Structure 1
Amino acid sequence: MISEYMEHRVNSLTESGILSAVTVLMALIGVYVPFLGLVAILLWPLPITVLVVRHGFRWGVMAAVVASVLIAVIIEPTVAVRLALAFAPVGLALGYGYRLGWSGIRLVTAAIVVSVLAKGIALMMVFFLTGIHPFSGQLEMLRESYTQAAEMYKGMGMNEVQIEMAKQSFEHNLGVIEILLPLVVVTMGLLDTMVNFIVAGKVFKRLGMEVPVLPPFREWRLPQAFAWLFGASLVAAYIGHANEIPILFQAGMNGYMAATLAGLVEGVVVFEYAMAHYNWSRWASTIFLIMIFMNGLLFQILAIAGILDTVFDYRKKFFGAER
């Protein structure tokens, strides 16, 4: 009995050390290797998820702490803080849900909530420690890139009036990006959760484990709350703009865009369901979707149709789908 316990402890320590080293290596790739670094950062929580599932929540926390300390020493303390606060909770949440056998929907929903909260806390912590806006570097990089491009076009003889108009358009778009930064944080939380959920599922399947899965894409149906969010956000954005209340306008714009993106997903789901119902080929439906995404008006129609589907359920009304 004692020997089995000691063997388990040794295995846990060994695997924890190996996976901690993997997280440090992924952080190094994320900081110093272009393009591949983005993938490494997105998958940074994965070793923690594996460790929690195989050995328990405590081992996952210990590995995250050890990896963060090593990253602080090897790279930079602020990088360690950002990774530990923004990404480690995602790995812990996914591992915890996998270990308890949660359904795919419950697991993904909980992990997304944890991820978004973690990234919000990480950004506030970075601002508190450095006094620098978390996205200031990226926004400044965009401005510098545009300035260089404008100089290049000017050297090629481009009309200065056109360059000035392009500059005004660019500054407007950059202002929109700044307004939508909260939505960027939510999107980041959604993206890294889904990537790690999918990859972790493949890893655990290779290890012979049963893993929770999400319903088929054509059966997805988002809650009616997105329709209410869409309407309330339009009202909030209008009142905020008309009465010069920046925070209300920003909240309204972020809610509007979030609801629109959700409606777009729902619209694609309904479109795919209709194509399958009428036995259209995959190639035909893909071509039609590409055409829709390339046309601004059709793009908006698809998003609004998706938002309305959360209320009216077209698949049940028109195709007899059972709920």
Structure 2
Amino acid sequence: MASFLNTRALVEGAFMAGLTTVMGLLGIIIPPILIVMPIPLAVLVMRRDLRVAVLSLAVTGILMTILYANPLQAAVLLIQFGPLGLVLGLLYKNYVTAGHALVTASLISVIASVAVIALVFLIGELNLATLQAAANTSLDKVFQMYQQAGLSVPPEEQKLLRDSIKTAVSLLPAIWVLSSVLSTVLTYIIGSKVLKRLGYKVSALPPFSQWRLPWYSIWGLILGLSFFMAGAKFNLNWLNITGQNLLMIFGFSFFVVGLSVVVYYFKVLPLSKPFKTIMIVLLFIYIGFMYWAVAVLGIFDAIFNIRRPLINKEI
């Protein structure tokens, strides 16, 4: 009987490995599919155990190496989504609360993203200076097209565009990390729904209006600002870029929490619908200014828990 069950587990693991590989192949063509790539491994951990899932992940790696045209692409997908699937499975299986599960899964995803970035930089497939040079070359061609059409772009506008490209390229690591976290949240939500459909009990996410960050998360902003200022003062470009990326990551995180605070008070306070509509419209129209205003609101909530006075009210 035990042998039969082991055989069934191995067959199921092989099937999940094939399914994960197919999702990876489809994800190259349709990137949003990659969001569900860790789910088969998570389901396997839930249904069987970690050993079977690890074996399935190893088979997935072999299949990817054989079937994928680019081995680097296979390695990136394996590093980015393999450990995440295993960790999500353990979190689901141990019924870890949704908040702690998301934090843990996001940390794993961020570590995987950093490992992927390091790998790509190490083998020379990606270089920020090369990307910036390529973008500037494309920009030069655009300026030439304008000149041939009898139009000219003022030097100050050209400089502004080049500075914008430089900033965008330097913030690519932060964009990658934030996209990984967002992908992890979506993966967790979809995985929860899949497991519920399979009859398993999983921890549900709290309402968006109750999302918050611990007070010590403000150290991310403090470090980012310190690195940014120190890099500018001592002319250390790498330190300056690190600070910019940290500020972007934690600034966006506090912006999300600030939105959660706004939603909370929209639900709790007896505001009229026209007033709420006007506030939402203004938020979108003046998003450049409102972004940091909402982020500051998130910072205050992390430090002072400004939703506490109304915590007993219905949300």
Give TM class, smaller chain.
0.7 to 0.9
Match in the other structure for 1:307: 299
Question: 2:1 aligned with 1:10, yes or no?
Answer: no
The Cα shift of 1:194 comes to 0.8
Aligned residues: 311
Task: Give the direction of change, closer, same or farther, for the CA distance of 1:79–1:321 in structure 2 (3 Å limit).
Answer: same
TM-score normalised to structure 1 length: 0.85
Distance 1:124 1:180 in 2: 15
Which amino acid letter does the alignment assign opposite residue 182 of structure 1?
P
Aligned residue among 105, 108, 125 for 2:102: 108
What is residue 271 of structure 1 aligned with on the other side?
A: 262
**SS of equivalent to 1:314:** coil
RMSD between superposed Cα atoms in Å: 2.7
The aligned runs of 1:37-186 (5 Å cut-off) are 37-75=30-68, 76-128=70-122, 130-133=123-126, 146=139, 150=143, 153-154=146-147, 157-161=150-154, 164-186=155-177
How many Å separate the matches in 2 of 1:52 and 1:279?
A: 46
| Residue matched to 2:227 | 236
Q: Which moved more, 1:86-95 or 1:281-290?
A: 281-290
Counterpart of 1:26 (choices 16, 23, 28) is 23
Q: Which moved more, 1:101-110 or 1:146-155?
A: 146-155
- Cross-structure match for 1:289: 280
**CA shift digits 1:70-117 (9 cap, x unpaired):** 121111211121111121111111011111221112211111111111
The answer as to whether partners of 1:236 and 1:251 remain within 8 angstroms in 2 is yes
Higher deviation after alignment, 137-146 or 45-54 = 137-146
Structure 1 range deviating more: 78-87 or 5-14: 5-14
TM-score, normalised relative to structure 2 = 0.87
Say which SS state the counterpart of residue 212 (structure 2) adopts.
coil
Contact map agreement 2:143 2:152 (CA 8 A) in 1: no
The aligned amino acid for 2:119 is M
Q: Distance in 2 between matches of 1:286 and 1:87?
A: 40
Q: CA deviation at 1:286?
A: 6.3
> Unaligned regions of 5+ residues in structure 2, if any?
none
What's the CA shift for 1:131? 2.3
CA shift in 2, pair 1:202/1:299, >3 Å: same
Instruction: Name the CA distance, whole Å, in 2 between partners of 1:136 and 1:53.
Output: 44
Distance in 2 between residues matched to 1:94 and 1:282, nearest whole Å: 40
Percent of matched pairs sharing the same residue: 26
Q: What is the distance in 2 between the residues matched to 1:97 and 1:257?
A: 28
Inter-partner Cα distance in structure 1 for 2:47 and 2:231: 50
